[in-house]
């Protein structure tokens, strides 16, 4: 799970840079480059922000504003593709709301993988079985559409810095609660079921991350080829930092 997550993190950052690089090579306009990336990732952006809003509604936290679109954060170079402004709440609910896009994104990718592409989740993730299942996905009707949706969802489902602001406080609370259960002798009675739940959850996350990594690798090759072709045609090359 950790390896697939790290691979996903590297690929999402690389794709974000190089898609915008292609847009800049075509127009020499940074705003157009960012708009190109936004439009490409729009299905994932919609799911990301709607999952925030849905989680807030379920947890009875008021949503002040939901926006979809490019917005620059003050004078900094940071930009957001969408945002959900919620009322002040406790760290636990804020953490759950921040985590919602990752849960919704993984659920959507697992549904597409299992129900559409036929990549069935195994009780435990295994690399040989996973790659064997991927060999026949290209036979699926509208294959490229579903692959595009996996890419768009997977590349923007990771929590942003704003989504994780309350995680530190929530983690302290969880550690404190675990300590209380441990010293009260209650932890042993739930540790077995908790371990099984954690194992199954890790397996599902691994599948979602791995499917996205596999799709991103194909997409990254395509982006690289387009970028190199533009360079050969005289559009120049972008220097990445």
Strand-pairing partners, residue 65, are 85
Question: Residue 177: its pLDDT value, please?
Answer: 66
Length of the chain: 241
* Cβ–Cβ under 8 Å, residues 137 and 119: yes
Question: Residue 123: its pLDDT value, please?
Answer: 47
* Cβ–Cβ under 8 Å, residues 87 and 151: no
CB-based contacts of 209: which residues, under 8 Å, 6+ apart?
A: 1, 4, 5, 7, 8, 106
Q: How far apart (Å, rounded) are the C-alpha atoms in residues 123 and 53? A: 32
Phi, psi of 71 (to 5 degrees): -145, 130
Question: Residue 169: its pLDDT value, please?
Answer: 67
Helices 143-154 and 42-58 meet at what angle, rounded to 10?
Answer: 60
Question: Residue 240: its pLDDT value, please?
Answer: 77
For residue 167, the tally of other CB atoms under 10 A from its CB is 16
As given in the structure block, the two tokens for residue 75 are 């004078």
DSSP alpha helix (H) spans, 126-186: 127-134, 143-154, 167-184
Question: Residue 141: its pLDDT value, please?
Answer: 76
Q: How far apart (Å, rounded) are the C-alpha atoms in residues 100 and 105? A: 8
Question: Residue 125: its pLDDT value, please?
Answer: 54
Q: How far apart (Å, rounded) are the C-alpha atoms in residues 90 and 61? A: 10
CA 125 to chain centre: 19
Burial of 157 per CB tally in 10 Å (0-12, 13-18, 19+)? buried
As given in the structure block, the two tokens for residue 217 are 């690798």
User: Average pLDDT for consecutive 10-residue bins of the chain (241 residues)?
Assistant: 87 92 89 92 94 92 89 71 87 87 90 78 55 66 87 89 72 69 61 67 80 90 92 82 71
Residue with the two structure tokens 């509604």: 57
* Cβ–Cβ under 8 Å, residues 95 and 166: yes
Q: How many helices (H) and strands (E) does the chain have?
A: 8, 2
Residue with the two structure tokens 């441990």: 182
Phi, psi of 191 (to 5 degrees): -65, -35
Phi, psi of 66 (to 5 degrees): -125, 125
């Amino acid at each position: 799970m950790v390896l697939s997550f790290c691979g996903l993190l590297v690929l999402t950052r690389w794709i974000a840079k190089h898609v915008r690089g292609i847009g800049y090579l075509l127009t020499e306009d940074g705003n157009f480059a960012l708009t190109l990336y936004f439009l490409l990732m729009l299905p994932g952006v919609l799911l990301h922000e709607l999952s925030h809003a849905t989680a807030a509604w379920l947890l009875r936290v008021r949503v002040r504003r939901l926006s979809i679109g490019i917005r620059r954060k003050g004078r900094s170079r940071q930009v957001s593709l969408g945002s959900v402004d919620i009322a002040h709440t406790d760290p636990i609910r804020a953490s759950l709301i921040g985590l919602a896009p990752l849960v919704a994104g993984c659920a959507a990718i697992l549904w597409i993988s299992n129900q559409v592409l036929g990549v069935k989740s195994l009780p435990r993730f295994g690399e040989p079985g996973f790659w064997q299942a991927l060999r026949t996905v290209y036979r699926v009707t509208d294959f490229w559409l579903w692959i595009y949706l996996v890419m768009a969802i997977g590349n923007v489902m990771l929590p942003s810095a704003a989504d994780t602001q309350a995680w530190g406080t929530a983690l302290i609370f969880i550690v404190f609660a675990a300590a209380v259960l441990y010293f009260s002798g209650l932890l042993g009675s739930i540790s077995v079921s908790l371990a099984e739940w954690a194992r199954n959850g890790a397996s599902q996350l691994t599948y979602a991350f791995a499917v996205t990594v596999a799709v991103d690798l194909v997409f990254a090759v395509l982006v690289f080829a387009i970028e190199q072709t533009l360079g050969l045609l005289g559009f120049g090359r972008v220097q990445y930092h």
